[in-house]
Structure formats: C-alpha cells, structure tokens
C-alpha cells in the first residue's frame, strides 16, 4: 500500500489521503512486452445528480478492507486478461477539490483491446465493490453521494421501523417489505 515507492510486484494497489502519483504510475506501468497502456483518471466533478456548484468531495473508506476489495478486482482482471503486464488501482480518500484526481486505473497489455477492456472492467468493479463513500459539498448545502451500489447482504428486513427480531431468517439480499417510505 506504499505510495512513496513503487511496489516490487506487478500490481500496485493503494488507498491514500495524499495526492495520487499519476506520473509515477504512468512510468511504472509500461513494460517492454506490452505495446498498450490504458489509464483512467477519475476527477472530482463540479456537479452531480440534482446538485450544481459542487465545490469539494470528501471520500471515506472502510480502511481495514478496502485494500482487500481492490486486490479482488486485480485478481479478477488478471483471471480474465492473463496478458496483463502491470496493473495499478489507486484511490484517494479525504477532502478533494473540484478537478483533483480521486482514482487512477492503469493497465499494460501486449495489445490495445485487452488494455481498454481490463481498464473499463477495473473501474466498473471498483465502483461497485470498494467500500468507499463520498460526501459532496455544493453551493446550496452538502450530502452523501446518491448514486450508490449495494455491497454485502441487504439488512432491509431487519432495519425497517418496528422490525421484529427475526433470528433464523437467511436473507440473501434484494428488496423486502418494510423499507423507507413504507
């Protein structure tokens, strides 16, 4: 998870409150046997759904497990695209201003199709599985990110107002009666 030095292996996974070392990643990811490097940068945008004038975003992570989830993404990508040379997944946490880089995906492969496909897979999987939350501040207020993905088993049935203790149930997620608005 070190940022100050590049990792010894072929994968670079990190979550840090420091600015992401984009240039260093670009240098690191290139390999002699790889003719393609695809890099994706996620940056803080000045608007989101129903919110204009976004000024900053604060990212919070489940520090103890976010690295493992990112490593899972790396494992899946390498399984699907065995030709991957080097692969970097870096995410920033803490307070970021508009325009700052929040996430870096970089992948090198022998040919370009798998580099594009693997990079797209990695950012999509990261967004769906990494335990990270964003809190936006805009001109008119502040609030949590609204476009989220469910992780873990849904606790809806047990969290609804007035829910009875229901030991012995074995929920596997999905909607259940008694959620918000019910």
Partner 1 sequence: MPHLWLFGPAREAAGTARDEVAGGTVAEVVTAACARYGEHFSDVAATCGVWVNGDTVPLDRALCDTDEVALLPPVSGG
- Kindly determine how many residues on this chain lie close enough to bind partner 1 according to the rule CB under 8 A: 54
| Residue 78 main-chain phi, psi, to 5 deg | -65, -30
Distance CA 21, CA 169 (A): 47
Give residues 117-136 in contact with partner 1 (rule: CB under 8 A): 123, 126-135
When binding is defined by CB under 8 A, the residue of 4, 64, 99, 141 that contacts partner 1 is 64
Pick 53 or 144: Cβ nearer partner 1? 144
Give residues 1-40 in contact with partner 1 (rule: CB under 8 A): none
Give residues 101-120 in contact with partner 1 (rule: CB under 8 A): 102-103
Is 52 exposed, middle or buried, given 0-12, 13-18 or 19+ CB atoms closer than 10 A?
Answer: exposed
Distance CA 106, CA 81 (A): 14
CA distances from 30 to 35, 44, 88, 105, 155 (A): 8, 26, 11, 13, 44
Does the protein bind partner 1 through residue 65 (CB under 8 A)? yes
Smallest distance from partner 1 to CB 21, Å = 18
Smallest distance from partner 1 to CB 157, Å = 8
When binding is defined by CB under 8 A, the residue of 91, 96, 108, 109 that contacts partner 1 is 91
Q: Confirm if 129 and 69 have CB atoms less than 8 A apart.
A: yes
Give residues 136-175 in contact with partner 1 (rule: CB under 8 A): 144-161, 163-173
Smallest distance from partner 1 to CB 87, Å = 17
Residue 11: strand, helix, or coil: strand
Pick 10 or 76: Cβ nearer partner 1? 76
Distance CA 136, CA 97 (A): 10
Under the rule (CB under 8 A), what is the footprint of partner 1?
42, 59-62, 64-65, 68, 91, 102-103, 123, 126-135, 144-161, 163-173, 178-180
């Amino acid at each position: 998870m070190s940022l100050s030095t590049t990792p010894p292996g072929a994968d670079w996974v990190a979550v840090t409150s420091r600015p992401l070392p984009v240039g260093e990643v670009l240098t690191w990811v290139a390999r002699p046997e790889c003719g393609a490097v695809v890099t994706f940068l996620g940056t803080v945008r000045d608007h989101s759904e129903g919110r204009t004038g976004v000024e900053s975003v604060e990212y919070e992570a489940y520090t103890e497990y976010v690295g493992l989830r990112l490593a899972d993404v790396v494992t899946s990508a390498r399984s699907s695209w065995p030709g991957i040379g080097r692969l970097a997944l870096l995410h920033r946490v803490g307070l970021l201003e508009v325009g700052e880089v929040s996430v870096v995906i970089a992948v090198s492969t022998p040919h370009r199709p798998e580099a594009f496909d693997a990079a797209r897979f990695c950012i999509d999987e990261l967004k769906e599985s990494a335990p990270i939350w964003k809190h936006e501040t805009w001109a008119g207020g502040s609030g949590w990110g609204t476009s989220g993905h469910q992780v873990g088993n849904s606790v809806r049935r047990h969290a609804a107002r007035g829910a009875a203790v229901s030991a012995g149930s074995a929920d596997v997620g999905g909607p259940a009666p008694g959620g918000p608005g019910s």
